Structure 1
Amino acid sequence: MFFGEFRHNIDAKGRLSIPAKMRNQCGECVYVTRGNDGCLALYTQEGWEAYYHELQSLPQKKKSTRIFIRLVTSRASECEFDKLGRINIPLVLRQEGNLEKECVIVGVGDHVEIWSQSAWNQFYDDNKDSFDDISEDLDEFEL
């Protein structure tokens, strides 16, 4: 399980250090793809396989399903860790997530999200005051 918030800089070559606390759960490589709300999503191999299986179980005859699967998988990238615990995020994904320098790495249970610091700060500020209301709405799911 991934949790926590970490701040790291991405270098000009697209290398981003993944915190050891998270990296130790990942194995030799991870899969990075487009996430929701303007972030990138990082999955372990097992997590990616489970996510891909979920995608394939969606109704393929629906146009929105086909579009979503294409958007997620077309730019997905397998990334290996270097000796310093960094992954090299391809340019197309860095552009997708607006990653330029300061990044926030957020554990969200079954995967990790990579945000530009400005986007994360905006997202958090926009939503933090709604925590109790969101929690109450989720109560119907018996958390």
Structure 2
Amino acid sequence: MFIGEYRHNIDAKGRLSIPAKMRLECGEKVYVTRGNEGCLAVYTVEGWQTYYQSLMKLPKTKKKTRIFIRLVTSRATECEFDKLGRINIPQVLRNEGQLQKECVIVGAGDHIELWDSQMWDCFYDENMDQFDDISENIDDLD
């Protein structure tokens, strides 16, 4: 389970330190891919396998399904932790997530999200006022 919000800088080589509490849950490597709302999603090996299997169950006869699978998997990458607890995020994914310098590492339950700090702050501020309404109607979201 991944929870919490942490702020770390990504260096010029694309290395980002993942908080120790989260690293303990990750193992030796993670999978990074595009997420929703402009973030990057980070999965454990087991989490990636579960997510990938759910993608493979989608109906590939539908064009939007094929597009979605391509967009998720084409730039997904396996990242190993270095001795300092950092992962190296490829430039193409840094561009996808608009990661420049300050990043926000967000625990999202079954995965981690990586956000540009300004994008995260905007997303959080725009959605915080809806929290009570969303929680009250969460059963109706399906």
Deviations 1:46-86 (A, max 9, x none): 00000000000000100000000000000000000000000
**Partner in structure 1 of residue 108 of structure 2:** 108
* Cα separation, 1, equivalents of 2:53 and 2:87: 24
> Does structure 1 residue 130 correspond to structure 2 residue 130?
yes
* Cα separation, 1, equivalents of 2:45 and 2:130: 34
**Partner in structure 2 of residue 50 of structure 1:** 50
Q: Under a length normalisation based on structure 1, what TM-score does the superposition of the two structures give?
A: 0.97
Once the two structures are TM-superposed, the CA of residue 136 in structure 1 deviates from its matched residue by 1.1
> Does structure 1 residue 22 correspond to structure 2 residue 35?
no
> Does structure 1 residue 7 correspond to structure 2 residue 3?
no
Unaligned runs of 5+ in 1: none
| SS of 2:130 mapped into structure 1 | helix
Percent identical among aligned pairs is 73
- CA RMSD, Structure 1 to Structure 2 (Å): 0.8
| SS of 1:98 mapped into structure 2 | coil
Deviations 1:58-117 (A, max 9, x none): 001000000000000000000000000000000000000000000000001100000000
**Partner in structure 2 of residue 66 of structure 1:** 66
Counterpart of 1:125, as a letter, is: D
* Cα separation, 1, equivalents of 2:140 and 2:134: 11
| SS of 1:109 mapped into structure 2 | coil
| SS of 2:108 mapped into structure 1 | strand
| SS of 1:33 mapped into structure 2 | strand
Counterpart of 1:15, as a letter, is: R
Once the two structures are TM-superposed, the CA of residue 140 in structure 1 deviates from its matched residue by 4.3
Q: Under a length normalisation based on structure 2, what TM-score does the superposition of the two structures give?
A: 0.98
* Cα separation, 2, equivalents of 1:10 and 1:126: 25
* Cα separation, 2, equivalents of 1:108 and 1:95: 21
Counterpart of 1:11, as a letter, is: D
* Cα separation, 1, equivalents of 2:64 and 2:58: 10
* Cα separation, 2, equivalents of 1:27 and 1:133: 37
Aligned residues: 141
* Cα separation, 2, equivalents of 1:110 and 1:54: 14
